[in-house]
Amino acid sequence: MFTDSQLTRAVALRHDLHQHPELKFEEHRTSALLAERLEMLGYSVRRGIAGTGVVAELDTGKPGPVLAFRADMDALPIVEANQSAYCSVHEGRMHACGHDGHTAALMLAAEAIMERRETLCGHLKLLFQPAEEGGNGAEKMVQAGVLDSPRVDAIFGYHNRPGFEAGLVFVKPGSAMGGNDTYRVIVHGRSGHAAMPHLAVDPIYVGASIVQQVQGLVGRHKSPLRAGVITVAAFHAGDAANVIPGSAELLINIRSDSPEARDALVGGLEVLVSGVCSAHGATYEMEHQLHVPPLVNDAEWSERVLEIARIHEVSPSIEQIDYMPTMGAEDFSFYLQQVPGCFFFVGNGEQGAYLHNEHYDFNDAILPVAAGTFVALAESLMATT
């Protein structure tokens, strides 16, 4: 499906991107490099979408479906511990989630698809998205209208998955990745002397009660047939041994596998915080810092992706799974809330570091598998009759 020179260019691009990581909404070098290459390939390119996003379009001029393929571009604020020839040259920034590989794979697919343009009908949009890591770049791309004019019929993307056989293509229909809701809660009490707690309102005690009781939302409010977890990721209060502080701050992270689970967990949080604070004479502030909905794959499109991958033999290992491979969040869910589609996975190898780890590295050997799946989708769904 790909020539040796195409694969060589894809690996070189992946290494270049890995060496020059850029954080969310700072992907200026990356987006400029991609836009230039896409224009050279013959795509119609729009820059500066949602800040630093790039949209490349292929209009075949023949009636047919409107498809979208997406890759994310941003890196993470992690100090890389690898010693490869292409490790990050920017201290404190690293492609620790494989977005360099996602981008390189879609660029490899873009080159192969353009070579096949005469055999295709319809319209293709390639979305190179900023700020997947905590910036809700997908939501901003949707707000910028990337799914419209013409309206996208179906959208596809993928993520590499360490811990799975390298090159394994797999799909989970329905709930496939967790939703992410992060709240900042400030409990306001009344400061006082540690020897006289009855004259104070202790926000540490109130906060600790919240830490204990939020787990009841998981155990008694969410259905046991649904997945979800609540983590209190930070708890800050006080700095003196003999003083009850005036306030305490908590960061509460909620993961959910579906809108139903999210409603049970998120819906009960403020009621619980309000009740605990009221019972002890405290007040509170609550800020919803981040919301990424659960990623729910369309069942029919999930089956179609697997069928097409098998027909085109993009990998010797292709399967459907019936369990959520991760509760990690993925903002591709914002696209799937608007149009049907499928987010598939490609195994990165059973050995090696996991995502968001200082030793993680994308496996170059899976580039033709991921890119080949995109090409197979284009060839099958946009084929001229």
Rounded average pLDDT over 136-146: 98
For CA atoms 16, 17, 22, 23, the dihedral sign is: negative
pLDDT band at 384 (very low <50, low <70, confident <90, very high): confident
Binding residues for Mn(2+): 97, 99, 133, 159, 356
> Vertex 148, ends 146 and 153: CA angle to 5°?
100
> Vertex 261, ends 185 and 268: CA angle to 5°?
40
Residues 177 and 333 sit within 8 Å (Cβ to Cβ): yes
Is 141 a residue whose pLDDT tops 80?
yes
Is 19 a residue whose pLDDT tops 90?
yes
Q: Inter-axis angle of helices 367-381 and 4-19, to 10 degrees?
A: 120
Residue 134 CB contacts under 8 Å (≥ 6 apart), including other chains: 24, 290
Is 214 a residue whose pLDDT tops 90?
yes
The whole-number pLDDT of residue 44 equals 98
Rounded average pLDDT over 26-35: 98
Is 278 a residue whose pLDDT tops 80?
yes
Q: Which domains does the chain have, with CATH numbers?
A: 4-177+294-381 (3.40.630.10), 179-292 (3.30.70.360)
Rounded average pLDDT over 132-161: 98
Tokens representing residue 288 in the block: 């919803």
Is 385 a residue whose pLDDT tops 90?
no
What's the chain's average pLDDT?
A: 97
Rounded average pLDDT over 188-205: 97
> Vertex 264, ends 263 and 265: CA angle to 5°?
95
Rounded average pLDDT over 47-61: 98
Catalytic residue chosen out of the listed positions 80, 132, 330, 331:
132
Q: Is 331 a catalytic residue?
A: no
Q: H or E element: which one contains 349?
A: strand 341-349
Catalytic residue chosen out of the listed positions 26, 27, 72, 74:
74
Q: Is 74 a catalytic residue?
A: yes
% of the chain beyond a pLDDT of 70: 100
DSSP track, 338-372: TS-EEEEEEEEESSSPPTT-TT----GGGHHHHHH
